Chains A and B, each alone.
Chain A
Amino acid sequence: DAGVTQSPTHLIKTRGQQVTLRCSPKSGHDTVSWYQQALGQGPQFIFQYYEEEERQRGNFPDRFSGHQFPNYSSELNVNALLLGDSALYLCASSLLEREVLTDTQYFGPGTRLTVL
């Protein structure tokens, strides 16, 4: 039973560039959330996707956008990268049934993004 997978593992970009991170949820899960974890800090909620729509969003600018595909996998896009976007980006998945989360949220290993 595959857990949450993310790609790539590491990524190096320069300021102003755009980046796309990918996530495949745990088998049987339909909801994907994204978190940003800066060095030495706790993760911060970016947004959540369910049924291919953004269900909830944290306090992040519009440069951060996402997408969920029919197979429940998800992408996180960040435009106009800033040095401060350097962080570990974590994807998490869960199961939502009739608007009720019925399974523990599982996290992936993350993508380490470095912006130079």
Chain B
Amino acid sequence: AQKVTQAQTEISVVEKEDVTLDCVYETRDTTYYLFWYKQPPSGELVFLIRRNSFDEQNEISGRYSWNFQKSTSSFNFTITASQVVDSAVYFCALSDPYNTDKLIFGTGTRLQVFP
């Protein structure tokens, strides 16, 4: 069975601190996709990244970076120099290999960044 675990329910940091959100997944598939989404208070899920299981290269996009480690089934997300606008709930998700629209989400991590 496929499963995504986000053990951190809530994280609070002060602006400019770095913060890492953890994601551990379970799947028997050899091909799969991993995602991160941001959900601000408005409710709309905002796509951040999609990673193919065959691509273990870490990725950096501005203040965001992702560390994919297949050996530990983890796909962690780091925000560098956090800002108040980063406050949101962040979801990690795993997709069905044949349908990347069918996402299995974790329970999310609420990040609060204080000024």
A44-B101 contact, Cβ under 8 Å, with A107-B44, A110-B43: no
Which residues of the partner chain A approach B104 to less than 8 Å between Cβ atoms? Answer: 45
Question: When chains A and B are docked, how far (Å) is the Cα of A52 from the Cα of B89?
Answer: 33
A33 x B44 contact (CB < 8 A): no
Question: When chains A and B are docked, how far (Å) is the Cα of A31 from the Cα of B4?
Answer: 25
A113, chain B: closest CB distance, angstroms? 12
Using CB atoms, name the residue of chain B closest to A108.
B44
B107 x A101 contact (CB < 8 A): no
Which residues of the partner chain B approach A56 to less than 8 Å between Cβ atoms? Answer: 96, 99, 102
Question: When chains A and B are docked, how far (Å) is the Cα of A116 from the Cα of B81?
Answer: 43
A44 x B100 contact (CB < 8 A): no
- With an 8 Å Cβ cutoff, the count of chain B residues facing the other chain is 22
A44, chain B: closest CB distance, angstroms? 7
Which residues of the partner chain B approach A35 to less than 8 Å between Cβ atoms? Answer: 103
Which residues of the partner chain A approach B102 to less than 8 Å between Cβ atoms? Answer: 33, 45, 48, 56, 58
Would you list the 8 A-B pairs with minimal beta carbon distance, nearest first?
A42-B105, A107-B45, A109-B44, A110-B43, A33-B101, A101-B100, A45-B102, A43-B105
Q: Which positions in B face A, CB cutoff 8 Å?
A: 4, 37, 42-47, 50, 91, 93, 96, 99-108
Can you give 26 A-B contacts (C-beta < 8 A)?
Answer: A33-B102, A42-B4, A42-B91, A42-B106, A42-B107, A43-B91, A43-B103, A44-B105, A45-B102, A45-B104, A48-B101, A56-B99, A56-B102, A90-B43, A92-B101, A94-B101, A101-B99, A104-B50, A107-B45, A107-B46, A107-B47, A109-B42, A109-B43, A109-B44, A110-B43, A110-B44
